[in-house]
Amino acid sequence: MLFFTQCFGAVLDLIHLRFQHYKAKRVFSAAGQLVCVVNPTHSLKYAPTRCAAAQASTEQGILSPCHHHEAVHDPQLVPCTCPLFSCPWEGHLEVVVSHLRQTHRINILQGAEIVFLATDMHLPAPTDWIIMHSCLGHQFLLVLRKQEKYEGHPQFFATMMLIGTPTQADNFTYRLELNRNQRRLKWEATPRSILECVDSVISDGDCLVLNTSLAQLFSDNGSLAIGIAITTSKVHSPEAEM
């Protein structure tokens, strides 16, 4: 009897997920955009010392390994930059994507414009929603994080990192867009390199920041849809465009 109840529960969950996915597709299909339903993952561990080391080496313009407990290493190696885990892996920049896919099961999407549909926004902080985005010959990592910077007041932080060097990252502009209930919020910036640390980008607040109330206004039935677009930014001149 218990077995049948569990089976029934699993079938209901599948129907719910399928419905959520189709609903998202229906909402955004008018624009012909690919919708990706992204489920949350609770952050297991943050490693700020590793990040600090990574950032220091990035600022010096070199690809150096960042494990603080190692004194000598191959300067061509980079650590695993997946923000979810304190992962001991390190490898060449070219194999970071396959590591993130294979070890951390992060999906990769193709296309210049996609919709990132983060589910279960009500889950307690810290929670991350992560996806990779393949576009313009490069791979990008989108991170949405729910975190309590001020105790008892969770906020949402969204940023995009290039799986490449800071010099390569300077060639792109990414846009995150929320659009619902006659409100629209757009954030445009140059992506950071994955050699910099997502934790420091978020703690600096140099990303799209949403209070809980605003996140609720933009979300539908517990899911937040973020439109993502990436362009090359060589002709970008912010002051003149305002």
Interface residues with its own copies (CB under 8 A) are 27-28, 30-31, 33, 115, 149-150, 153, 173, 177, 179-190, 204-206, 209, 211-214, 217, 225, 227, 233, 236, 238-242
Output the smallest distance, CB 217 to its own copies, in A. 6
Closest CB to its own copies among residues 18, 186: 186
Output the smallest distance, CB 82 to its own copies, in A. 25
Closest CB to its own copies among residues 88, 238: 238
Cβ neighbours for 198, distance < 8 A, ≥ 6 positions apart: 51, 81, 83, 141, 143, 145, 159, 161, 192
**3-class secondary structure, 25:** helix
Output the smallest distance, CB 93 to its own copies, in A. 23
Of 199, 176, 200, 178, nearest in space to 188 by CA? 176
Contact criterion met (CB below 8 Å) for 134 and 55: no
Closest CB to its own copies among residues 85, 187: 187
Output the smallest distance, CB 47 to its own copies, in A. 22
Q: What is the DSSP letter of 125?
A: S
Of 151, 153, 143, nearest in space to 197 by CA? 143
Closest CB to its own copies among residues 52, 214: 214
